[in-house]
Amino acid sequence: MTFEDLLDTIKKNNLKVDFDLLQLAYEFAEKAHFGQKRASSEDYIQHSLETAILLAKFKLDETTIIAGLLHDVPEETSVSLKEIKKEFGEEIANLVEDITKLGKIKYRGIERYVENLRKMFVAIAKDVRVIFIKFADRMHNLKTLSALSKEKQKRIALESLEIYAPIAHRLGMNELRGQLEDLAFPYIYPQEYKITKKIFQEKIKVRNPFVEKFKKELKKELALAGFKNLEIHGRIKHLYSFYLKLNRPEINKNPDKIYDLIAIRIIVPEKIVDCYSILGLIHSKWKPLPQRIKDYIAMPKFNGYQSLHTTVFGLDNKIIEIQIRTQKMHRETEYGIIANWVYAEKGKPKHGGQIDKKRMIWLNHLLEWQKESESEQPEEFLKKLKINFFKDRIFIFTPKGDVIDLPEQATPIDFAYHVHTDIGHSCTGALINNHLSPLDTLLKSGDVVKIITSKSRKKPSLDWLKFAKTHQARSKIKSALKI
């Protein structure tokens, strides 16, 4: 990669950047890293360029791109933060300083690692651009991982899979999450990677022709119905996501049961009503599979994902998944929180944009939890972090139709404490989909839960700690019982 490649990426994405300042930053970084080589034998400046180019592909602002170019200067060279501040100002220097601190995070030495993870979450809350730079840095590190020792490969890949990919997912950055997982996959599960890749490629080869054939027929039907300016294309599932799905109990390693290996994606210009109209048209032409129609527009996923999903018997009765969304939804699916950072309401690029506060709620909860769990052992902290904040999420409904976001394997007790502390304390039972169920029942996405309470009950039961999963529920129970 060259500086010209960075310029081309910036121009291609219509970003407003002071090119003189950008060139100054590049030359500053190139001089600071002069003579330095990475383990892959490439010049160190290549890593800085790759990081900045990816930030430009994310369509981030000038400050973030320049900070990406400079992010390793204080840690890897003799040039100080003071010099960066003098040349490029306080805002860029502050971003570089935060990244330098995060550069010390390693997935080893559990006590120090956990301490630095805590610092990272504080830094993200202070300026979310810190994690954008860290993502770009990590992406290039994963691409050059083969140059490192086996031990380092596994450590960096594991950290990417268990920490960085889930953070990207929580921020709604689905495409980035998929790329991080796919790059880490072969280093953590090499044998499973080889087997999965072989199955994946074979199935893609078989499914692709009839998907293309169906796509042409679908385009023709939509055009006849008067739908214009649509984008219709195929979406191939990420390899690691395919691996996880292949190992679900209901799939039982049968790839023919994975209907979204190649999905057809329909993107309408802007009207949400068009999404529903197209869904109706598709169902009038091709029979949908029962229980495979999902409305993530009316009920978005916890990370803001919105789309309509349906699975139909297509041409020659072959099963295929179709996803329908607006341009805005698609942009937010690809870039997540960055979409709100970059785009104004009318779709025009802007600088220093607004953060989607809904996507940051989990981080506020995480910071509160950090304060409450400062005395916990590092191993316990890391375990609870993964369960409470990075585990796959489920959606549970209240009887009034409100959506409660909980981690997988949550129980009615977790639900009760999420609604209100007093509801949790006075809980005596639960109705799940109108059926009386034990309090240790594992909830599933889509369940409607009503908590039964009693005025005579003032305190929780000690036994609840055996199956309460969320930090919120466990801490409230312990506090009430004074343990």
In a domain? residue 368: no
Q: What is the pLDDT of residue 355?
A: 52
Together in a domain, 7 and 154: yes
The per-residue b/e assignment along 4-21, b for 16 or more CB within 10 angstroms, e otherwise, is: eebbebbeeeebebeeeb
**What integer is the mean pLDDT of 321-339?**
87
Say what the pLDDT of residue 27 is: 96
Q: What CATH number is given to the structural domain containing 234?
A: 3.30.460.10
Tell me the pairing of strands 435-437 and 427-432.
antiparallel
Among 306, 214, 207, which Cα is nearest to 257's?
Answer: 207
User: Tens digits of per-residue pLDDT, 303-324?
Assistant: 778 999 999 999 888 999 999 9
CATH code, 424: 3.10.20.30
Q: Exposed/middle/buried for 400, CB within 10 Å: 0-12, 13-18, 19+?
A: exposed
Mean pLDDT of 141-166: 90
Confidence of residue 349 (pLDDT cuts 50, 70, 90): very low
CB 468 within 8 A of CB 474: yes
What pLDDT sits at residue 105?
A: 52
- Calculate helix-pair angle for 174-188, 150-159, nearest 10 degrees: 150
Which residue, 373, 268, 388, is CA-closest to 329? 268
In the predicted structure, residue 348 carries a pLDDT above the cut 70: no
Higher-pLDDT residue of 450 and 316 is 450
Cα–Cα distance list, 145 to 109, 156, 267 (Å): 21, 8, 36
Q: Where is mean pLDDT largest: 38-42, 122-126, 249-253, 299-303?
A: 38-42
311 and 220 part of one domain: yes
When divided into structural domains, the chain yields a total of 3
Do the beta carbons of residue 45 and residue 70 sit within 8 Å? Answer: no
Q: Reply yes or no on whether the pLDDT at 402 is more than 80.
A: no
Q: Is the dihedral of CA 313, 315, 316, 322 positive or negative?
A: negative
Whether the predicted pLDDT of 3 surpasses 50: yes
Q: Are residues 198 and 311 in the same domain?
A: yes
pLDDT band at 103 (very low <50, low <70, confident <90, very high): low
Question: So what's the pLDDT on residue 340?
Answer: 59
Look at 13-22, 76-85, 320-329, 332-341 and tell me which has the smallest mean pLDDT: 332-341
The answer to the question of residue 362 being in a domain is: no
457 shares a domain with 416: yes
> How crowded is residue 396: how many other Cβ atoms within 10 Å of its Cβ?
22
Q: Is residue 125 domain-shared with residue 209, that is, in the same domain? A: no
For residue 349, what are the β-bridge partners?
Answer: 343
Domain termination residue (choose one: 146, 173, 200): 173
Half-sphere exposure of 261 (CA within 13 A, CB side): 25
CA distance 359 to 331: 15
316: left (phi over 0), alpha (psi -120 to 50) or beta: left
- Please list, in sequence order, all residues whose beta carbon lies within 8 angstroms of the beta carbon of residue 46, skipping any fewer than 6 positions away: 1, 38
How far is the C-alpha of 74 from the C-alpha of 8, rounded, in Å? 27
Q: Are residues 66 and 148 in the same domain?
A: yes
The phi and psi torsions of 103 (rounded to 5 degrees) equal -65, -20
356 is a domain residue: no
What are the backbone angles phi and psi of residue 129, rounded to the nearest 5°? -65, -20
Domain for residue 344, yes or no? no
Same domain as 253, residue 162: no
Inside any domain, residue 184 = no
pLDDT band at 357 (very low <50, low <70, confident <90, very high): low
Domain boundary among 318, 335, 352: 335
- 23 located within any domain: yes
Q: Are residues 301 and 197 in the same domain?
A: yes
Residue 263's beta-bridge partner residues? 235
Containing structural domain, residue 223? 190-335
Mean of pLDDT values over 402-430: 90
Distance CA 223, CA 67 (A): 46
In the predicted model, what is the mean pLDDT of residues 358-367? 70
**DSSP per residue over 14-54, as a string?**
T----HHHHHHHHHHHHHHTTT-B-TTSSBTHHHHHHHHHH
- Bridge-partner residues for 314, per DSSP? none
- pLDDT of 153 strictly over 50: yes
| Mean pLDDT of all residues in 453-463 | 91
Single residue among 116, 144, 173 that ends a domain in this structure: 173
Please give the helix or strand (H or E) that residue 400 lies within, else none: none
- Which residue(s) pair with 430 in the sheet? 437, 451
User: Does 151 lie in the same domain as 7?
Assistant: yes
Which of the four pLDDT bands, split at 50, 70 and 90, describes residue 454?
Answer: very high
Q: What is the pLDDT of residue 220?
A: 94
Do 282 and 164 belong to one domain?
A: no
Contact predicate 49/2, CB 8 Å = yes
* Of 246-255, 277-286, 424-433, minimum mean pLDDT range: 246-255
Mean pLDDT of 66-82: 94
Please name which of 477, 390, 482 lies closest in space to residue 439, comparing C-alpha atoms. 477
Query: Is pLDDT of 274 > 80?
Result: yes
- What single-letter amino acid sits at 249? P
Gap between the terminal Cα atoms of the chain? 58
Computed over every residue of the chain, the mean pLDDT equals 87
Report yes or no on 367 lying in a domain: no
Q: Is the pTM of this model over 0.85?
A: no
Between 248 and 281, name the one with better pLDDT: 281
Same domain, 158 and 217: no
- The pLDDT tens digits of the residues spanning 159-192 come to 898 888 888 888 888 889 999 999 999 999 999 9
CA–CA separation, 229 and 266 (whole Å): 11
Distance in angstroms (rounded) separating the CA atoms of residues 309 and 307: 6
**304 or 206, greater pLDDT:** 206
Q: What is the CATH number of the domain that holds 109?
A: 1.10.3210.10
Tell me if 347 is assigned to some domain.
no
pLDDT greater at residue 263 or residue 108: 263
Our CA angle for 442, 443, 446, nearest 5°, is 160
Q: Are residues 166 and 19 in the same domain?
A: yes
